[in-house]
Amino acid sequence: MPESPFDQHRYQVRHDWGAEGLQRLAPADVVVVVDVLRFSTTVTDAVARGESVPLDAAAHAVSLNGAAVAQAADATGAVVLLGCLRNAAAVARAVLDVQHERGARTSIAVIAAGELAGRAPGAALRFAVEDQLGAGAIIDALGDLGVDHTSPEAAAACEAFRGLRGAVRHLLTASGSGQELLDLGRRDEVLNAAAVDAASVVPVLRDGAFVAL
């Protein structure tokens, strides 16, 4: 495939939105799918309890959009990880471990899943601030480990998280996605998702299911 000005191929750490954004980027060795409310967070917590979470079951129960990104990433042959605010630092360490195992510079695509602006087929992707913050947290953690050759898109997400880290709890509860869950009586889920680096497990997609890396 010819290079594109939008594929971020010049950079080790790349960032875009949704399955279309993943397709827009140059192929990466590692793809981190970020769907904070609730796909990535829910699966991370389940894997931390020792569970194996089939991708199809997670998609049905939690998020079609986050699962669609994971499926698209799996089809590229990349290592597919799930990231969120709760495990941002752990994801960065896992990426570094993958790079050490490969013994070569490893490209990373951090994909914010976003939300669908409707349930009908073909619904447009909606910007979700929680996924922007989650992606930024992971990119920031990668930078802390020296993996900091980031695209402008990735750098902007990183700085958004850095500047707003102290307000993450408020931002998640006040966001559209957070308000939707609060209206359903799921405030505890939103607050759980806002706990930065509270989890040390990193889900990886293997043979159609997420397990601990």
Per-residue pLDDT 10s for the chain (213 aa) are 578 999 999 999 999 999 999 999 999 999 999 999 989 999 999 999 999 999 986 665 555 688 889 999 999 999 999 999 999 999 999 999 999 999 999 999 999 999 876 555 567 788 999 999 999 999 999 999 999 999 999 999 999 999 999 999 999 999 999 999 999 999 999 999 999 999 999 999 999 999 999
Look at residue 19 in the predicted model and tell me its pLDDT.
Answer: 92
**Residues paired with 92 in a beta bridge:** none
pTM: 0.95
CB 28 within 8 A of CB 125: no
Domain residue ranges of the chain, discontinuous segments joined by +? 13-206
CATH architecture of residue range(s) 13-206: Alpha-Beta Complex (3.90)
Q: What is the DSSP string of 32-84?
A: EEE-TTTHHHHHHHHHHTT--EEHHHHHHHT-HHHHHHHHHHHHTT-EEEEE-
- Give me the torsion for CA of 100, 8, 176, 141, rounded to 10°: 30
**Residue 48 CB: number of other CB atoms within 10 A?**
17
Among candidate residues 151, 160, 128, 155, the one with its CA nearest the CA of residue 7: 151
